[in-house]
Chain A
Amino acid sequence: DIQMTQSPSSLSASVGDTVTITCRASQSISSYLNWYQQKPGKAPNLLIYAASSLQSGVPSRFSGSGSGTDFTLTISSLQPEDFATYYCQQSYSTQLTFGPGTKVDIK
């Protein structure tokens, strides 16, 4: 299996901050990396697919980059509705795996 790790596991930030979350794969996954946002009690919501493609309807303050083993999700100008948990997910292998999540809360 391809193992996914995320850092940090949690962070505190203020409205207006720029936040960067890192996801690392245990082997190269090319650009087969997706990012999701999950709020408490809700299903995950797709933000970014193929490492850097913004899903329709997702605000442009969300961006993704990276390839190979290292990826980042950046949230520019953090908004109150962005406080949530973020997960990466790889599809390079048919054994789909998610990262453990990064919780973004209010400082």
Chain B
Amino acid sequence: QLQLQESGPGLVKPSETLSLTCTVSGGSISSSSYYWGWIRQSPGKGLEWIGSMYYSGSTYFNPSLKSRVIISVDTSKNQFSLELTSVTAADAAVYYCARQTYEYGGLYYFDYWGQGTRVTVSS
């Protein structure tokens, strides 16, 4: 059974960089047909896709966050990571990592999710 687990600091200071890692177990991050994504949910709000990556390193991002986001992969550790720079209070949220299955013609869906990690932005 595939499992994903987010890890990282739960508290980040304004203007600093939020760094999270997602560890994948029960399957390989290098499998074809899968991308790996980050999604966040601000308190009481809906879901916002942040960005996704393929194990080869190719990435694509939400345009509203693109200038501040880095997503990277470490296939040797079966992990992928999120960095969000220059955070503000608006970046406080529960951050989820998820497997993004790709099918014919561009259909993508998130079929496995981590439990989520809450990040607070405060000095």
Residues of A within 8 A of B (CB): 1, 31-32, 34, 36, 38, 42-46, 49-50, 55, 87, 89, 91-92, 94-101
Contacts and interface: CB of A to CB of B under 8 A. Distances in A.
24 contacts: A1-B63, A32-B107, A32-B108, A34-B109, A34-B110, A36-B110, A43-B96, A43-B113, A43-B116, A44-B113, A46-B109, A50-B103, A50-B107, A55-B111, A87-B46, A89-B47, A91-B108, A91-B109, A94-B106, A95-B63, A96-B52, A96-B62, A96-B108, A98-B46
**Chain B contact residues: over half helix, strand or loop, or mixed?**
strand
B106 A92 contact: yes
B115 A100 contact: no
**Chain A contact residues: over half helix, strand or loop, or mixed?**
loop
A1 to B, nearest CB: 7
Interface of B: 37, 46-49, 52, 60, 62-63, 96, 98, 103, 106-111, 113-116
Contacts of A44: 47, 96, 110, 113
A36 B106 CA distance: 18
Given A36-B110, A99-B46, 19 more contacts: A1-B63, A31-B107, A32-B108, A43-B96, A43-B98, A43-B114, A43-B115, A44-B113, A45-B113, A46-B109, A49-B103, A50-B103, A50-B107, A89-B49, A91-B106, A91-B109, A94-B60, A95-B49, A95-B63
A22 B96 CA distance: 25
Contacts of B63: 1, 95
A101 to B, nearest CB: 5
Interchain residue pairs A-B with the least CB separation, the first 7: A43-B113, A91-B108, A49-B109, A96-B49, A98-B47, A34-B109, A100-B46
Nearest to A56: B111
Nearest to B37: A96
B49 A97 contact: yes
Nearest to B96: A43
A62 B49 CA distance: 24
Contacts of B49: 89, 95-98
B57 to A, nearest CB: 16
Nearest to B103: A50
A98 B108 CA distance: 12
